[in-house]
Structure 1
Amino acid sequence: MKAATLAGVDMLDVGGYTRISDIGQLGDGRDGREGVVRQREDVYDLAKGSRCNVHRIYEDNDTSAYKRRVKRKAFEDMIIDLQTGTISGILAYNIDRIARQPRDLERLIDIYEQARRPMVFGTTAGDYDLTTADGRFQARIYVTIANKFSADAARRVARQKFAEAQDGRPHKGQRAFGWKDLEHVDPVEAEIIRKARRDILNGKRISTLHREWAEAGVRAPQTPEGKTISYTSVKYVLRNPRLCGYRAYIPQEHRERSGRLDPVEYLVERTDGTPIVGKWETIFSPEEWRELVDELDARKNTGAGRQVGSTVTKRLLTNIARCGECGSGLNSAMYQRGTKSYEKYGYYYVCKPANGGCGKLSRSGPPVEDYVEKILLGHLKKQAHDVTPTEVEDPELTQAKEKLKQIDADKAEARALRAQDRLSLAEFAREISRLEGKEAELKEKVSTLAVSPIRASSAAARIIREWKSYTVDMKRAEIRRSIEAVVISKAGKGGAQRGVFRPELIEIVWK
């Protein structure tokens, strides 16, 4: 600290800033907590040799000053205290502890330039008078050098991490949800994920699943203390390629620009286009994981699964039930509060003119829903028993599967030709786009045809067993798989008004 700059000035209150970028792991040779403790000692030594009093130590432990999306809480507190005059300067071990991004230094320079009071900026490597052009020039040079060192180090680390990904080695650091360490599955969390997959495929919304996990106290390893698991974390867990053994790699610069990204888009592939398989225990097979991801992708265009603005209905038969007079889909409405109908049924289905209907039909909701559920479960029970194990696979399904295999081979060939520079980038892009379009059509066809009698029987038995635990969304999804429409005919004079349920007025149209 330059004593001359403080001659005749009362002792100044300053802030001491300490920071370590990465505390490391136990036993890996990096500093950890000891690093900031040593920096704290340096700050107090600096203060002793100057007319300064350390008002507060601002400590950011295990926090990068280089990564753009990282928020340094103590640094931000220090900025506020500088602006308000609570402190009149900063002491630190080195300027790179304070800033490794030029924009952070510029924030400090603005404060120092506009201050109308004595200010100090001292480090063990020297002082910087940010109120002068020369002092600002020196500070900017050192921060620019520190920024370059960080960029070089980040590039080396990124190259090493990508090499590890190509070798199939697991991510280091915090464990992933579903595993108790880098390699071994956690049985409890794995079962939570397996059940979630079954529920999603049966129509449950992610918002419902998120609410259930939060209420049950399910927490991801990254969930802050005192917080519940977030909606985006639930989506990330379900889409994580690690579930089936695939290795993903998201470059740090992509994370910094966009935050949490979809790992499905960052699979590491071999030169033939096949995914790298990692060296850890898996929870799903690749086919099971892909089926789950396809279901989640299919919902992106419909809004299903979103809590806010969702088009998913609260009622079981909305737009599945249809008016027998005009064929329009029925909507639900609440009976007037205080009436007997409200107390007994709560809501009813109605053909609304506002939605293009005739307005001539309405029916109490719960009795109709109970009847449709009973008929559907009877249908599934019959399906569970009527199995023909010897039935030959549909020839159309076999042909579609063969075409999919051929597309995989064609894609691999196109990648190989591109790797050998025998295809231009434009030709390669057009060919891959064409093949992926065909692939999407065939996958949809296969999923439609691929329900074998034995699998259908097993699925039907499971649905019957778990039906009471299904949400409205899951029940609707199952009804839509089997039923085209539930046609409700007009009751005639007096029939519905007297509360008599007449099943002969309900026709179920099966798919």
Structure 2
Amino acid sequence: MADQSTAPRKAAIYLRISQDREMDDLAIDRQREKCEDLARFRQWEVVETYVDQSKSATDRTKVRPAYDRMVSDYQAGAFTAIICYDLDRLTRQPRQLEDWIEAAEWRGLALVTANGDADLTTDGERMYARIKAAVARAEMERKGQRQRDAQRQRAHQGRAPKGMRPLGYAVNGDVAEDEATTVRAIYAAFTRPEHPESLRSLARALSGAQEVAGIAPRPKHSHVVSVERADARKAEGKEPRPIELDGPWSPSTILGILRNPRYAGLSTYTPKVAQPDGGRRRSWKAQILRDDAGEPIRGQWEAIVDDETWWAAQTILDDSRRITNTSGSTKRKHLGSGLYRCGVVVEADGAVCGKRVTGGPRGYRCAGHIVRSGAAIDDNVTNRIAERLSEPDALRKQMQAEHGPATRGIAAAISEHRARILRAQRDYDDGVIEGRDLKRNRDAAEARIAELEAEQLTVGRAGRLTPVLGTDDPASAFREGSLDLRRQVIDTLATVTLYPQPRGRRGFDPASVEIDFGEEPDLAEGRSEHHAELRDDLRGPQPLEGKLLT
């Protein structure tokens, strides 16, 4: 058996570069060569080389996958020594350095650098490493502050921010008219009073999966920018970087376009410790720079949309009523999309799928389980909910009790405060009040709205169903209500479960749609035996026949 005292140490090499602009690995290779030479000199066995390319060690929030893997491997006993080119290649965080110093002191870790500036095997070298890490940290903080000061000065001067160009603007800040046309169409479709488009439908239109007036499909913007950058590098005689693949547009990208104040010609700056006013959804407005009089600072670039259009989009995005049901779904075009549930039994012990179905141009589906046409299902659900609303029973009384004078008063107060914000905005636009007055009015109104909405949630889920439950004829009000209102009513009153249409039967079978109002034992006991038969017949996923059933 080999003598453990004379056996060579098992060592790991850690290599890192903050930003490899040329993406040629030359800087990493230089580090690797020096570290491997040191390993041979010390007669250590290199068991693993960990490489983090274009990864910063200054920001503790940044993930370094190779570093994290190395820490895990060390804790598992894979090696007892670490070699890196320089101490700041390993870490620029004093807290992380202390972890390694503790490992050197108490667990015998040997940590050395190829440039000879650190060796944690002695107390003097550990003291030097601490001093060096503190000095490096201080220098990075000074550098970061200089960069932030320059960015803030640039923003106050109204100069275009640096970084990836947004859709609609060229690298030099000029308007790219072809893309700008798309940006204007996105704002117009999202803010139009009648039948506004959702974030999802706009993303699908840009991806070519759905038709929206005024919006033509186009490649994903990040793909276009990566192609431009690759072409620019080729023109400079450099090796192009990998090009991001084209693909479908994301609703989050559309949200970013609608939130970006740059399209309205407003200058922005994001402090390092920025606290958005009201959460992430309103953070763009918190970043708009204002002068001493409270007026927004205008950028030196051409606006693509006017202020009114941009602020109208913010009002829509900030409106909590865009949430149309308790699942958190945003505005939809189908009555049961994200609302109805799949009732297919997928396990031998009787477990039901239970996932919310998705809506499409031809109906509803749950992947691998259900494909159903939608019109007959929606008609059936609408009729049965309307019938339920017509019955003067305990459920109706309970919902009306929840929707008493207190709830109506809260809703009225919220509407009044929203109107106050709009009035202040109009007064500001007309020059009647200054920016500071607008901010004071808006902040006070939004704070009160937040309090009222929290109170509204404690009153009951029926708090927003005034247009139905507060009328003399709830059934008719439900039938004539908007899609959003009908979805809210259904989501509040019942759980709708879809089963596949029984094979061999033509026409819509009402028993394939189960509506559970949830509070009455007799409803469950009186369900059609047909439902039980359906569930018995649906043990496991059912093959789909490639066509929609009625």
Cα root mean square deviation, aligned? 4.6
Please name the residue that 2:304 is paired with. 283
Distance 1:403 1:59, change over 3 A: closer
CA distances 1:401-441 after superposition (whole Å, capped 9, x unpaired): 997149855435x69xxxxxxxxxxxxxxx9524766899x
Q: Does 1:76 align with 2:77?
A: no
> Which residue identity does 1:14 align to in structure 2?
A
Q: Secondary structure at the match of 2:168?
A: coil
> Which residue identity does 1:86 align to in structure 2?
A
How far off is 1:283 after superposition? 2.1
Q: Secondary structure at the match of 1:41?
A: helix
Q: Does 1:238 align with 2:228?
A: no
Please name the residue that 1:178 is paired with. 168
Q: Secondary structure at the match of 1:49?
A: helix
Please name the residue that 1:454 is paired with. none
Please name the residue that 1:357 is paired with. 390
Please name the residue that 1:462 is paired with. none
Distance 1:219 1:264, change over 3 A: farther
How far off is 1:75 after superposition? 1.4
Listed as ranges, the matches of 1:428-447 within 5 Å are 432-434=439-441
How far off is 1:160 after superposition? 0.8
Task: Answer with 209-218 or 280-289: which moved more.
Answer: 209-218
Q: Does 1:162 align with 2:183?
A: no
> Which residue identity does 2:115 align to in structure 1?
T
How far off is 1:15 after superposition? 2.6
CA distances 1:79-100 after superposition (whole Å, capped 9, x unpaired): 2232233333222222112111
User: Which consecutive unaligned segments of at least 5 residues does structure 1 have?
Assistant: 1-6, 317-333, 335-341, 361-399, 416-430, 441-474, 480-511
Is the contact made by 1:353 and 1:359 (CA closer than 8 Å) also made in structure 2?
Answer: no
TM-score (normalised: structure 1): 0.57
Please name the residue that 1:385 is paired with. none
> Which residue identity does 1:15 align to in structure 2?
A
User: Which consecutive unaligned segments of at least 5 residues does structure 2 have?
Assistant: 210-216, 227-242, 337-362, 364-372, 394-422, 448-481, 487-550
How far off is 1:150 after superposition? 1.2
Listed as ranges, the matches of 1:84-103 within 5 Å are 84-103=76-95
Q: Does 1:267 align with 2:288?
A: yes
Listed as ranges, the matches of 1:67-466 within 5 Å are 67-109=59-101, 111-112=103-104, 115=107, 119-129=110-120, 136-201=126-191, 202-213=195-206, 219-221=220-222, 225=244, 229-254=249-274, 262-298=283-319, 300-303=320-323, 308-310=328-330, 314-315=334-335, 345-348=376-379, 349-350=382-383, 352=385, 356-358=389-391, 404-405=427-428, 408=431, 410-411=433-434, 432-434=439-441
Q: Secondary structure at the match of 2:222?
A: coil
> Which residue identity does 1:350 align to in structure 2?
N
Aligned-partner Cα distance in 1 for 2:425–2:190: 28
CA distances 1:56-93 after superposition (whole Å, capped 9, x unpaired): 44332332211132111221222223223333322222
Aligned-partner Cα distance in 2 for 1:8–1:161: 56
How far off is 1:249 after superposition? 0.9
Q: Does 1:66 align with 2:58?
A: yes
CA distances 1:125-172 after superposition (whole Å, capped 9, x unpaired): 433326x76655443333222222111111111001111111122222
Is the contact made by 1:411 and 1:435 (CA closer than 8 Å) also made in structure 2?
Answer: no
Aligned-partner Cα distance in 2 for 1:38–1:91: 14
How far off is 1:355 after superposition? 6.0
Is the contact made by 1:352 and 1:358 (CA closer than 8 Å) also made in structure 2?
Answer: no
CA distances 1:212-256 after superposition (whole Å, capped 9, x unpaired): 556568534399945755443331221101112211111234499
Picking from 8, 15, 29, the partner of 1:18 is 15
Aligned-partner Cα distance in 2 for 1:189–1:403: 30
Distance 1:347 1:307, change over 3 A: closer
How far off is 1:267 after superposition? 0.8
> Which residue identity does 2:200 align to in structure 1?
S
Aligned-partner Cα distance in 2 for 1:190–1:79: 48
Is the contact made by 2:189 and 2:197 (CA closer than 8 Å) also made in structure 1?
Answer: yes
Distance 1:302 1:409, change over 3 A: same
Q: Percent identity?
A: 23
Is the contact made by 1:66 and 1:101 (CA closer than 8 Å) also made in structure 2?
Answer: yes
Is the contact made by 2:220 and 2:248 (CA closer than 8 Å) also made in structure 1?
Answer: yes
Please name the residue that 2:500 is paired with. none
Distance 1:133 1:291, change over 3 A: same
Aligned-partner Cα distance in 1 for 2:275–2:87: 26
Is the contact made by 1:244 and 1:282 (CA closer than 8 Å) also made in structure 2?
Answer: yes
TM-score (normalised: structure 2): 0.53
Please name the residue that 1:324 is paired with. none
Aligned length: 353
Distance 1:69 1:434, change over 3 A: same
Aligned-partner Cα distance in 1 for 2:59–2:286: 23
Is the contact made by 1:65 and 1:100 (CA closer than 8 Å) also made in structure 2?
Answer: yes
Distance 1:75 1:124, change over 3 A: same
Distance 1:401 1:273, change over 3 A: closer
How far off is 1:173 after superposition? 2.4
Is the contact made by 1:14 and 1:88 (CA closer than 8 Å) also made in structure 2?
Answer: yes
How far off is 1:280 after superposition? 3.1
Aligned-partner Cα distance in 1 for 2:135–2:325: 48
Q: Secondary structure at the match of 2:434?
A: helix
Q: Secondary structure at the match of 1:221?
A: helix
Distance 1:118 1:165, change over 3 A: closer
Distance 1:344 1:74, change over 3 A: closer
